């Protein structure tokens, strides 16, 4: 899905400065991250051209999680800057074909295989049912965990760990997220739920 963007120059400048700092440190350490540089260039070009794909944002943010432990602090700062940018322009955008709010994308829920009484629960679920989206900071496996529940407060699963940074950051800043069930399907013995996620 392509969405039009409008970024203030100060936000773009802040992003570029932080990004250049990280690249400078990588160079000093003799490390080469060609893929990182390539995606960064593509991402900035998309911003300049005034459009971007939501999948590009997730891919770009994933690349911030570089494997070098010594860069952990820099990674965290850079990811936070990106999330701030993302939140900033999302607030300025409304889907042309929806009155719900800003769409953050489609997600297959993780952890559905661990939900108790799922076979009974699925009988009550329908396409377009609204779901509640909340942060679960005390999760022992992921402090950025984002839980998805029915409107009756029954847990359905979680947003995938590799894609939950931005939703977690948005929730942590006092913003509300919600969603709608888009697809319900069986995959062998596992039940899959896909939702559309929105910023209120």
Match domain 102-199 to its CATH number in 2.60.40.10, 3.90.1640.10, 3.30.70.660, 3.30.70.2330.
Answer: 3.30.70.2330
pLDDT at 13: 52
Report CA-CA distances (Å) from 15 to 35, 82, 86, 127, 145.
18, 7, 11, 39, 25
Q: Which of 6-20, 63-77, 144-158, 174-188 has the lowest mean pLDDT?
A: 63-77
Q: Which two tokens stand for residue 38?
A: 């390539």
Query: Does the structure show a pLDDT above 50 at 166?
Result: yes
Q: Predicted confidence band at 98 (pLDDT cuts at 50, 70, 90)?
A: very low
Domain coordinates in residue numbering, the chain: 2-90, 102-199
Report the distance separating Cα 18 and Cα 93, nearest Å.
Answer: 25
Residue matched to tokens 């509640």: 132
pLDDT at 42: 54
pLDDT at 200: 74
Taking residues 107-111, report their average pLDDT: 90
Query: Does the structure show a pLDDT above 50 at 104?
Result: yes
Query: Does the structure show a pLDDT above 80 at 193?
Result: yes
Q: Predicted confidence band at 182 (pLDDT cuts at 50, 70, 90)?
A: confident
φ, ψ (nearest 5 deg) of residue 52: -160, 150
Query: Does the structure show a pLDDT above 50 at 118?
Result: yes
Q: Which residue has the higher pLDDT, 63 or 115?
A: 115
pLDDT digit string (tens) for 29-61? 444 455 445 545 555 555 555 555 545 455 544
């Amino acid at each position: 899905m392509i969405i039009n963007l409008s970024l203030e120059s100060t936000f773009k400048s802040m992003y570029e400065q932080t990004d250049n700092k990280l690249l400078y440190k990588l160079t000093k350490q003799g490390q080469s991250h060609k893929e990182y540089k390539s995606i960064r260039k593509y991402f900035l070009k998309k911003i300049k051209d005034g459009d971007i794909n939501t999948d590009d944002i997730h891919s770009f943010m994933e690349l911030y999680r570089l494997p070098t432990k010594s860069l952990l602090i820099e990674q965290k700062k850079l990811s936070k800057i990106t999330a701030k940018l993302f939140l900033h322009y999302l607030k300025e955008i409304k889907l042309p074909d929806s009155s719900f709010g800003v769409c953050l994308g489609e997600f297959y829920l993780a952890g559905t295989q661990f939900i108790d009484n799922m076979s009974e629960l699925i009988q009550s679920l329908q396409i377009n049912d609204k779901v509640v989206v909340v942060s679960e900071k005390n999760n022992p496996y992921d402090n950025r965990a984002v839980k998805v529940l029915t409107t009756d407060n029954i847990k359905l699963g979680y947003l995938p760990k590799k894609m939950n940074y931005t939703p977690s950051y948005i929730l942590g800043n006092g913003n509300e997220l919600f969603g709608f069930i888009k697809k319900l399907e069986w995959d062998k013995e596992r039940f899959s739920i896909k939702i559309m996620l929105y910023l209120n």
